[in-house]
């Protein structure tokens, strides 16, 4: 298996050099991404591939179910580097429909350490239990919860001292929430963009639910 991987790498490298001579030499001299991507570890959702970006154009942090934990030093270190050193202009929190982490958070089954990691998603499910109950299909309900997890992630990123300091410096930094469809390969904007501490916008009603996840208000 390792030989297959290395062979594939050599073929890719040779093709890239043939298509764009000097590509790797140029890439090695700089890293100037405009985006910091917070995504799921799912192997079907590689950030630069689904967004049509080249290596060097997006700085990536991934974890199970794209959960934003405010005490996760791995995430915070990556966020700080992206904001303070790379000077990214946009932070993307991206979830996906059919997320295995979201499914695990809704199952009454043991999942080991993942159960601790997914606790924020279970809290969201309890907080919006009445609204989620309006969605009859189990998969649709999980997809709605995946959307809520993205919106909550945007909120949590905006609340970090790292981002608050950047806005205090008048940095042009925006935070966006997207969700990816495994079945059609499309990214959808959840309409929860934040550009300043008071600029949260109402998210789009993408799956027909009747509540506003940013405020918890029923419509």
Which residues are tagged catalytic? 40, 42, 44, 96, 99
CB 180 within 8 A of CB 187: yes
Tell me how far apart the alpha carbons of residues 94 and 127 are, in angstroms, rounded to a whole number.
Answer: 21
Pairing, β 174-180 against β 90-96:
parallel
Tell me how far apart the alpha carbons of residues 209 and 219 are, in angstroms, rounded to a whole number.
Answer: 9
Task: List the Cα angle 148/128/103 in 5-degree steps.
Answer: 60
Report the length, in residues, of the chain: 219
Residue 92: CB atoms within 10 Å: 24
Query: Quick one: CA dihedral 147, 148, 150, 151, positive or negative?
Result: positive
């Amino acid at each position: 298996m390792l030989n297959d991987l290395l062979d594939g790498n050599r073929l890719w490298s040779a093709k890239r050099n043939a298509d764009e001579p000097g590509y790797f030499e140029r890439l090695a001299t700089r890293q100037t991404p405009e985006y910091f991507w917070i995504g799921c570890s799912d192997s079907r959702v590689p950030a630069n591939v689904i967004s049509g970006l080249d290596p060097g154009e997006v700085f990536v942090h991934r974890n199970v179910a794209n959960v934003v934990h405010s005490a996760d030093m791995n995430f915070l270190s990556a966020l700080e580097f992206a904001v303070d050193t790379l000077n990214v202009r946009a932070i993307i929190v991206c979830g996906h429909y059919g997320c295995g982490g979201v499914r695990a958070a809704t199952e009454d089954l043991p999942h080991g350490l993942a159960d601790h990691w997914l606790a924020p998603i279970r809290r969201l499910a309890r907080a919006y239990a009445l609204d989620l109950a309006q969605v009859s299909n189990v998969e649709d309900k999980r997809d709605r919860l995946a959307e809520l997890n993205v919106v909550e992630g945007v909120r949590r990123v905006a609340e970090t001292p790292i981002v608050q300091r950047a806005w205090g410096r008048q940095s042009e930094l925006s935070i966006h929430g997207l969700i990816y469809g495994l079945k059609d390969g499309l990214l959808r904007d959840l309409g929860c963009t934040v550009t300043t501490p008071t600029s949260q916008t109402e998210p789009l009603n993408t799956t027909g639910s009747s509540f506003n996840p940013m405020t918890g208000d029923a419509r």
